[in-house]
Amino acid sequence: MIPPLDRIDTMIGRPKQLRRPRLTIRRILAWADSEHRFRGRWPRKTDGPVLRHPDETWEGIDSALRSGHRGLPGGSSLPKLLFERRGVRNSRGLSPLTEEQIVTWARVHLAVTGTWPSNGSGTVLAAPGRTGKISIAPCVAPGGGCRGATPWRGCWPGGSGCGT
C-alpha cells in the first residue's frame, strides 16, 4: 500500500508546511486582475512577488501553469492564460505575418491617407493594435523577414528601406 502524500513528504524530508498550496485558475486571474488595477499593466513572469502574496511569485505561477504542478492541468503559461481569459496581447503568440497581408495593409493605408506607410505612420489602419513599424519590418529586417514573412524589394514606393 502506498502511504498518503503528506506521509511521503515527511518521509522524504520535506516538512508538510513547506509544500506549496494548490492554485486555481480563478485565484491566479484574481491576483492578475488586482495587479493590473494597481500597476496599470498585466503581470509578467519576471515581475517577482505577487502583490499581497509575497510567498508567491509570477515566475512560480508560470512554472506551475506550464508543468501542471499545484493542482493545475499544465500545458499553459501566464501569457497564454492572460490572453485566453483576459484578451491580453501575447507578443510571442502572434501569428506569422505574410507578404500578402502586409501589402494589403499598405494598400489600405494608401487608399485612406493618399500616402504609402512609413515608420512614422502609427497604427496600421487595416489592423488596429499594430504599428507602422511592424508593417514594414519584413522589408528592413536584417538577413530575412519578420515572424515568417520574407523580405522583398519594391514593397511600396517611398516605403522606408523598401525600394523606390
Choose one of 60, 76, 92: the last residue of a domain.
92
d(CA 115, CA 128): 18
pLDDT at residue 96, rounded to an integer? 79
pLDDT of residue 156: 44
10 Å CB burial of residue 3 (0-12, 13-18, 19+) is exposed
Last residue of a domain, one of 50, 76, 92: 92
The reported pLDDT for the residue numbered 72 is 96
64 with 131, same domain: the answer is no
Q: In sequence order, what are the residues at sequence separation of 6 or more whose Cβ sits closer than 8 angstroms to the Cβ of residue 34?
A: 51, 52
Which residues, given as ranges, of the chain have pLDDT below 70?
Answer: 1-18, 128-164
Neighbours of 12 (CB within 10 A): 7
Domain boundary residue, one of 92, 117, 142? 92
116 and 70 within one domain: no
138 shares a domain with 77 = no
Burial class (CB in 10 A: 0-12, 13-18, 19+), 44: middle
> What DSSP state is assigned to residue 75?
S
Between CA 142 and CA 70 the distance in angstroms is 43
Return the pLDDT at 80: 94
Q: Give yes or no: residues 47 and 12 share one domain.
A: yes
Number of domains in the chain: 2
Based on the fold, state whether residues 85 and 125 are members of the same structural domain. Answer: no
> For residue 99, with 0-12 CB atoms within 10 Å meaning exposed, 13-18 middle and 19 or more buried, which class applies?
middle
Looking at the structure, do residues 76 and 127 belong to the same domain, yes or no? no
The pLDDT of residue 138: 42
Angle at 82 between CA 90 and CA 59, to 5 degrees: 90
Does the pTM surpass 0.75? The reply is no
One domain for residues 84 and 130:
no
Task: Looking at the structure, tell me whether residues 78 and 117 fall in a common domain.
Answer: no
pLDDT confidence of residue 6: 52
The answer on 17 and 54 residing in a single domain is yes
Question: What pLDDT shows up at residue 93?
Answer: 74
Q: Measured on CA atoms in the order 144, 149, 155, 160, is the torsion positive or negative?
A: negative
Q: Provide the residue range defining the domain that includes 106.
A: 94-164
